């Protein structure tokens, strides 16, 4: 929210105006609480800054006036590009035992691994759905170790459903050896550590929204465990594929990605690290006009 002047038909008044960054994203699944939040926020906003062109199309269909819409790009990508080099100084790969000095593959000492994030209520709150996902992930783990920084709500469900045996519970306060053929469960990571971990992964499996975008920029294959996405450009242009929760489809898509059968596509428009600059320029111009 930003305070700017508003000129009404009758008088000049001051009131706070609402600006929504990442406006117009739609999964078209109103069982998701965040979908309702997005719709309400967009309806209340005076400036709607969109991160992909589908956002503009969605808002126009909902009757939002075109003059309120501004396609500026993705501010989260601004953050990633700004911090990517710094993230490479993280020691997380060493802490997790993913550096093997005796290993020489493609001029790298890095043990090939995948990354998993899983927290969405539709995936982890239903015992049967969660069980099927884990069955698929255990099959994927036969191809490479999976590193799983576990969300607290997911940890609670693992304990509630007695799924502990599906994971290797790894401490990371000292160097350890990640176990092959396992889902290696570690504590949640900070942004820079996770960015470093994700940047060197062979594959990312997730039910997150933002990670679909980050893997597109990093050119890392992403398999999304959802039936829909509010970020369709990651699938039409990026490295993301939506697989739902069918175990066979999860395994097939992961193996296909590991075998290099998915092409890296192109970076979406305006995902160039300058979205924030565009937003500031637009707000500055509008405030100047309203004086």
Q: Residue 149's pLDDT is what?
A: 96
Q: Which alpha helices (H) appear in the chain, and where do they start and end? A: 33-44, 53-61, 75-87, 92-95, 121-124, 127-140, 152-160, 191-199, 210-218, 233-236, 247-258, 275-290
Mean pLDDT, the chain, whole residue set: 91
The per-residue pLDDT for 136 is 98
Domains of the chain: 2-73+270-290 (3.40.50.2000), 77-258 (3.40.50.2000)
**β-bridge pairing 12-17 and 2-7:** antiparallel
- Whether 151 is a known active-site residue: answer no
pLDDT tens per residue across span 85-137? 999 999 999 999 898 766 656 657 899 999 999 999 999 999 999 999 999 99
Is the predicted pLDDT of residue 6 greater than 60, yes or no?
A: no
Cα separation of 195 and 88, whole Å? 8
Question: In this predicted model, what pLDDT tens digit does every residue of 123-169 receive, in sequence order?
Answer: 999 999 999 999 999 999 999 999 999 999 999 999 999 999 999 98
Q: Which of 83, 119, 143, 151 is catalytic?
A: 119
């Amino acid at each position: 929210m930003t305070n700017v002047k508003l000129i009404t038909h009758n008088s000049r008044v001051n009131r706070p105006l609402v600006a929504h960054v990442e406006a117009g994203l739609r999964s078209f699944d109103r069982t998701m609480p965040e979908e309702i939040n997005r719709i309400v926020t967009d309806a209340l906003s005076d400036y709607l800054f969109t991160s992909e062109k589908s956002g503009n199309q969605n808002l126009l269909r909902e009757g939002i006036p075109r003059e309120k819409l501004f396609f500026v790009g993705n501010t989260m990508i601004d953050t990633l590009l700004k911090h990517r080099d710094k993230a490479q100084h993280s020691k997380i790969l060493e802490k997790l035992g993913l550096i093997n000095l005796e290993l020489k593959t493609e001029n790298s000492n890095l043990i090939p691994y995948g990354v998993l994030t899983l927290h969405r209520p539709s995936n982890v709150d239903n015992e049967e759905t969660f069980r099927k996902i884990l069955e698929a992930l255990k099959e994927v783990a036969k191809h490479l170790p999976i590193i799983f920084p576990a969300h607290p709500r997911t940890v609670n469900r693992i304990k509630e459903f007695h799924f502990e045996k599906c994971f290797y519970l790894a401490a990371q306060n000292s160097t350890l050896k990640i176990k092959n053929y396992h889902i290696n469960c570690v504590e949640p990571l900070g942004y820079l550590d996770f960015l470093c971990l994700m940047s060197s992964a062979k594959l990312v499996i997730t039910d997150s929204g933002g990670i679909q975008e980050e893997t597109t920029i990093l050119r890392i294959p992403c398999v999304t465990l959802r039936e829909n996405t509010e970020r369709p450009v990651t699938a039409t242009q990026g490295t993301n594929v939506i697989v739902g929760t069918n175990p066979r489809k999860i395994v097939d898509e992961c193996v296909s990605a590991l075998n290099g059968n998915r092409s890296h596509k192109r970076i979406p428009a305006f995902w160039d690290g300058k979205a924030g600059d565009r937003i500031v320029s637009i707000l500055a111009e509008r405030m100047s006009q309203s004086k």
